[in-house]
Chains A and B, each alone.
Chain A
Amino acid sequence: MEVIDIIKPENQVFSKTCLMTDATLSYCPGCGHGTAHNLVMEVIDELGIVEDTIGVAPVGCSVLAYDFMNVDITQAAHGRAPALATAISRTWPNKYIFTYQGDGDLAAIGTAETIHACNRGENIVIIFVNNGIYGMTGGQMAPTTLPGMRTSTSPHGREIETMGSPLKITELIANLPGTYYVTRQSVHTHKHVRKAKKAIKNAFNNTRLKKGLSFIEIVSNCNSGWKMNPNESNNWMEENMFPYFPLGDIKVKGKLKQKS
């Protein structure tokens, strides 16, 4: 059988979701943001909730998320996405509200808003993409930068003595009573993508059931900031990021998972 016989509309098993616009993604080649955007939109499409979904875009690499995601979406001041999402969810309690934030937005300038929104247990979904660096501004050190990792503002590697330890914000907020579902996923291989999609679907279902706040961290690469090619950066992420930021569910149905 020739390839031309297979390529027919009735045989199509996967294509880009209609909830992503035709705009070319502004991300570097191989960046996990693109996959994460697509996963969120695919889940919204599959659940059939596009009419009732409102997103909040952050400041950072993903500031242009409103150009790529074909849903109702607004954009918050730097780090204030959870505060804006709180307002929207209290105004329209039956809508599905999600924020999409990076580590500079959520774990640095927006720490207060994040922690208080999580502590209040707002009925929203927070998607947190953690790549351990400030990508958009030129690769400066972020709170989540690993010890010894070189960035443009820590050219000899991050020193714990002077610069402190990486912030495990996901573990931090998992200990707050308001959060219902807290998990850490990744999108660099097909297995991880499928798991991450399941987690995102779970989070939106929690919103539907009004269970409270669902928080999904996606550990991602930043190949430009890390100065590697995409596949090298994915391998580097597996070797170095995952021991510090272990993947898996941290809090399920409001109960912390015991570490075995």
Chain B
Amino acid sequence: MAKVKGAIVVDTETCKGCEVCIPVCEEKVISMSTEVNRKGYHYAYMSNPDVCTGCTNCAIVCPDRAITVYRIKI
């Protein structure tokens, strides 16, 4: 089976901490940070980077498009 590995980069200043990206991630990669950004929102971050497949589900439901997705075949 061809394996893919992905990674996401969250723009922490754009993220409003709505958590919509968390239930759509089937690999449970994303968690909310305990720190806050300049606006006071807890931002999303990649808490479990090993299992990310770069499926872009989180990025396409993000209303503020704070997530950029990268993917590589290995």
Q: Which residues of A contact B (CB under 8 A)?
A: 1, 3, 5-8, 11-17, 20, 24-25, 27-35, 38, 187-190, 193-194, 229-231, 234
Contacts and interface: CB of A to CB of B under 8 A. Distances in A.
Contact of B54 (A13, A33, A234): A13
Contact of A231 (B23, B54, B60, B65): B23
Most chain A CB within 10 A, of B57, B59, B60, is at: B60
| Contact-residue bracket for chain B | 20 to 34
Nearest to B16: A29
B36 interface: no
B61 A35 contact: yes
A187 B62 CA distance: 10
B7 A3 contact: yes
The 5 A-B pairs with the shortest beta carbon distances in the complex, nearest first, are: A34-B63, A30-B18, A29-B16, A29-B18, A16-B65
A20 B20 contact: no
Contacts of B20: 30, 188, 230-231, 234
Contact of B59 (A5, A14, A188): A14
B65 A11 contact: no
B70 to A, nearest CB: 4
A213 B49 CA distance: 45
A140 B24 CA distance: 31
Interface string B37-51: 000010000100100
A31 B49 CA distance: 27
A1 B60 contact: no
A190 B57 contact: yes
15 contacts: A1-B5, A6-B6, A6-B54, A11-B71, A12-B68, A13-B54, A14-B56, A14-B60, A15-B59, A29-B16, A30-B19, A189-B24, A190-B60, A231-B23, A234-B20
A182 to B, nearest CB: 24
A7 B61 contact: no
Contact of B60 (A25, A31, A194): A194
B19 A1 contact: no
B1 interface: no
B65 A30 contact: no
Nearest to B49: A3
A15 B16 contact: no
Given A11-B72, A34-B63, 15 more contacts: A1-B5, A3-B46, A8-B70, A11-B71, A14-B68, A14-B69, A30-B18, A30-B20, A38-B63, A187-B61, A190-B24, A190-B56, A230-B20, A231-B22, A231-B23
